[in-house]
Amino acid sequence: KAGVTQTPRYLIKTRGQQVTLSCSPISGHRSVSWYQQTPGQGLQFLFEYFSETQRNKGNFPGRFSGRQFSNSRSEMNVSTLELGDSALYLCASRDRAIQEQYFGPGTRLTVT
């Protein structure tokens, strides 16, 4: 099976802009989670989608949003970018039967 894919791998944006990141889970997995990784805060949970419904949400402002499509692919959007949004954004595909999450390579977002 192919692993979790994330596009794009690298992004450079300017403050105030918005950005959309994409994640394709492992075939057959219907649960997708998003995490933000920064040197200062470490790995923090953003949100999780299962069967197109948001199931859990982390403690992030409303500028961070996501959605999931019927084919389980997920997107996350960040509006009005701030310098502090610079981070590695990781997507994880969950096999709920064996309680394991598999991570993609991440999207490195730099906000200037």
Partner 1 sequence: AQSVTQLGSHVSVSEGALVLLRCNYSSSVPPYLFWYVQYPNQGLQLLLKYTSAATLVKGINGFEAEFKKSETSFHLTKPSAHMSDAAEYFCAVSDSGNTPLVFGKGTRLSVIA
Q: In the complex, which residues of this chain contact partner 1 (CB under 8 A)? A: 4, 31, 33, 35, 42-45, 48, 56, 58, 90, 92, 94, 96, 99-106
Q: How far is the CB of 3 from partner 1 (least distance, A)?
A: 9
Q: How far is the CB of 50 from partner 1 (least distance, A)?
A: 9
Closer residue to partner 1 in complex, CB, 15/43: 43
Backbone angles phi, psi at 83, to 5 degrees: -55, -35
Look up residue 92 and give its amino acid.
A
Query: Residue for token digits 């790995």?
Result: 43
Residues whose CB falls within 8 Å of the CB of residue 102, separated by 6 or more in sequence, listed in order: 3, 4, 26, 29, 92, 93, 94, 95
Closer residue to partner 1 in complex, CB, 66/106: 106
